[in-house]
A and B are shown apart, each in its own frame.
Chain A
Amino acid sequence: MTNEKELHGYYAGLRSKFMVIIFFIAFIPLMLLGGTTYYYYSTTVKEKIRNELKLITKNRKDTIDLFLNDRANCLSVLAYTHSFDFLKKKENLLNSFQLSKRVCSAFQDMGIINSDGEQVAYIGPYHLTGKQYSTADWFKAVMKKDVYISDVFLGFRKVPHFIIAVKRMENGKPWILRVTIDINRINHFMSTALLGKGGSDAYILSLEGIYQISGADTDRILTKSDFKMPSVFRGIKEKEKHYGGKTLLCAKAWLKNNDWLMVIEQDLQYELGPVVHVKNTVLLIFIISSFIIVISTIFITRRVFAKLEKMGLEKLQLREQLVRSDRLAAIGKLASGIAHEINNPMAVISEKAGWIGDLLTEEDVKNSPNYDELIKSTQDIKKHVQRGKKVISRLMGFARKEDIAHKNVDINSVLDETHDFMNKKAMFQNIALMKEFQPDLPSIVTDGAQLQQVFINIVNNAIDAINKDGVIRLITKAKDGGVLVSIVDTGPGMPKETQTKIFDPFFTTKPVGKGTGLGLSTSYGIVEKLGGQLTVESEVDKGTTFHIALPPTCIKESEV
C-alpha cells in the first residue's frame, strides 16, 4: 500500500468480506431457529389433528355400528316374541311399533311381509299395505340371511332410506318384520364428526362406492363416487391426500360388517390455520431481524471501516512524512559533510587563483602577450569558486539550525508583502497574482521572515512553472486555530512521481544553472521547523497547489 487509492481499495475489499461474514454469522442461527421452530410446531399440530381425526372416526364408527346392531336386535326380539298372526293385525302392529319406537328411536315405519313378498300389514306415513316386494333385492337377501340391513335406496316412496329386516320361521313358513330407518339420524352422527367448518366432509359409501350418506354435498346421495374403494381392513386408516388443489387429511373405517365405508375428510390447510399464523409470524420476525441485521451491519462496518481507513491513511501519511523527514535529515547530514570537505579545496583554489593574479601584476609578466588572458582566467576561477560557494552556502542553509523568531504574525500582511514583491515579475510574464484572503484571519505566533522566504520561493516556482499567461491565487483560511495558506497555480502540474521528489534537496526541473534544487527542500524544512506542514497537490495539465498549514503557535524552539 503506497497510495491512498490502493489503501481505499484494500479497506473496501476488507469491508465487503467482513460484511458477508457478519451476515452469515447472524443469519445462520436465525434461520435455524425460525426453521426448527416452525417445523416442530407444524408437525406437532399436524400430529394433534391426525389423532383427533382418528379418535372422532373411531367414535363415529362405534356409534353407528352400535346403533345399527341395537336396532337389528330390537327388531329380532319383537319378531321372536310375537307370532305372524298376531302382528298382521294392524292394531297389534301399531302397538308394537309404538312400543319399539320408545326403545329404539329412528324407526320410520314397520311392516309385516309374508313368504310371498306381500306386505300384509304396515304402519307408517306412506300407504304401502299390499305392496309386492318379492323382486326387491333386500327381500331376496333377507330370505337367505335371517337379519339384513340394506343399503340406502329409494323404493316405492322415492325417498332415500334403508331398512332392517328380520326373517322368522313359523310353522315351516318364513315371514319378515321390516322397519325403515331415518337416514337423518346417521346424517346427524356424521355431521357432528366434522372438526371444523371449512373444507371438511364426512360421508358413507357402500361396497360399490355409492353414496349412502352424502355428507357436505346432499345432491350426491345414491350417486357413484369416484373414491377408490380400499380392501377391507380393521380399525381406522388415515392418510394425507391432495385433491383439487387442497391437502386433505382423510380417515376411513369399515362399518356394518364391512358393508359400508365411512370417510371423514379434513382440509389440512384450514386446520393448520394457526400454524400458518405462526409461520407468518416467524417469517415476519425473520424479515424484521434480517432488516435490522443488514442495516446495523452496514452501519457498523461502515463506521468502523471509515475509522480504520482514516487511521490507515493517517498512518500512511505519517510514514510518508517520517520517511521524508528521515531522508531530509540524512541528506542534510550528507550535504553538510560534503560541503565542508569541498569548502577547503575550494578555498585553496580561490587562494591559488588569487596568488596567480597577484603574481601577474609583477613587471616581467605584465609584458607577456597572454597577460590579459591569464588575468581573465584567474578572474573566471574566482567567479566560479564564488558560484560554488553560493551553492554550498544554500546547501548549508538547508541543513542549518537557525533560531526561530517568535512573534505575532498576521499572515495576510506577510502575503501582502509577497504579492508586492512578486507582482512585477508576474505581470511581466502576464500572470495574474490574486489575493483571496480571509479578512478576519487570526494572527499566529511564528517567524514571519522565514515564512516570507517560503512564500516567495513557492510563488517564484509557480511563475517559473506557468512561464506565460496564467493565474496564481494566494488563499488564506483559518483552520484548527491556525492558518492554512494555499498557493494555487494554473501551471502544467506534475505527475505523482515528481510530487514525491520535489522536497528532496537538489531535485529540480529547471534548466541547469537556473535552480539549485534547494528552494522547496529549504521551504519544507522551514515550515516543519515552525511546526507546520507543507503539502503539495497536483494534477497534470490542471495545475499545482501548495498547502502550508501553520499551527496557532510554533512551540518547537531550538529542539529541531
Chain B
Amino acid sequence: MEEIRMLLVDDEDDFRTTLANRLKLRKIDIMDAGSGNEAIELIRQKPFDVAVIDVKMPGIDGIETLKQIKQIKPAIEIIMLTGHASIESGMEAMKLGAYDYVMKPCDIDELLVKTGEAYQHKLLKEKEK
C-alpha cells in the first residue's frame, strides 16, 4: 500500500510537530501547516489524500479552511480535530463535507483508523468515477 498523503493543519506548534513526527513514524506522508492560509497554499501546490484540520484557529478557522479546500480540491477527504469536546462543531463540519471528526486530545490509533477509512473512501469514490 502506498503512503497516504496527509496535510495536518493546527495552530499549536508543539502539538502539530509532535503529531506529525508520530504519524511519519507510522508511515504517513505528512506535511503540516500552522494556519488556514498556509494550508490552502499547500493544497493548491501539492496533491493530498487526507487533510486533518483543527476547528479552532486564529485567522481563517477550521470550518472556513474546510470550505475552501473542498472548493479547490473536492476529492480530498477531511477529518476535523475538535478542541471542543462538543459534537456539534464536528456535526457541522460533516454537513459541510468533512468525512469525520476526532476529539482532542486524540488517541493516535483512533486518528489512524479514521484516516485509513477516509483514504479508502476516497479511493472508492475515484473508482466509481
Contacts and interface: CB of A to CB of B under 8 A. Distances in A.
Contacts of A343: 83-85, 104-105
Contacts of B85: 339, 343, 389, 392-393, 396-397
B67 interface: no
A348 B15 contact: yes
A347 B15 contact: yes
Interface in A420-460: none
Interface residues of A, number: 23
Interface string B91-129: 000000000000111101000000000000000000000
A365 to B, nearest CB: 14
A355 B15 contact: no
Contacts of B56: 340
Contact of A354 (B14, B83, B88, B108): B108
Nearest to B13: A348
A105 B83 CA distance: 140
Chain B interface size, under 10 / 10 to 19 / 20 to 34 / 35 or more: 20 to 34
Contacts of B86: 396, 400
A358 B106 contact: no
B19 interface: yes
A341 to B, nearest CB: 9
Contacts of A400: 86-88
A401 interface: yes
Interface string B13-51: 011001101100100000000000000000000000000
Contacts of B25: 358
Given A340-B83, A393-B85, A355 B105 contact: no
B24 to A, nearest CB: 10
Interface of B: 12, 14-15, 18-19, 21-22, 25, 56, 83-88, 103-106, 108
Contacts of A346: 104-105
A352 B84 contact: no
A354 B108 CA distance: 8
Interface of A: 336, 339-340, 343-344, 346-352, 354-355, 358, 385, 389, 392-393, 396-397, 400-401
A347 B108 contact: no
A451 to B, nearest CB: 20
Contact of B106 (A339, A347, A393): A347
9 closest Cβ pairs, A-B complex: A347-B105, A350-B105, A351-B18, A396-B85, A393-B85, A347-B104, A348-B15, A348-B14, A355-B18
Nearest to A396: B85
B105 A349 contact: yes
B22 A354 contact: yes
6 contacts: A340-B56, A347-B104, A347-B106, A348-B12, A351-B108, A400-B88
Contacts of A396: 84-86
A344 B83 contact: yes
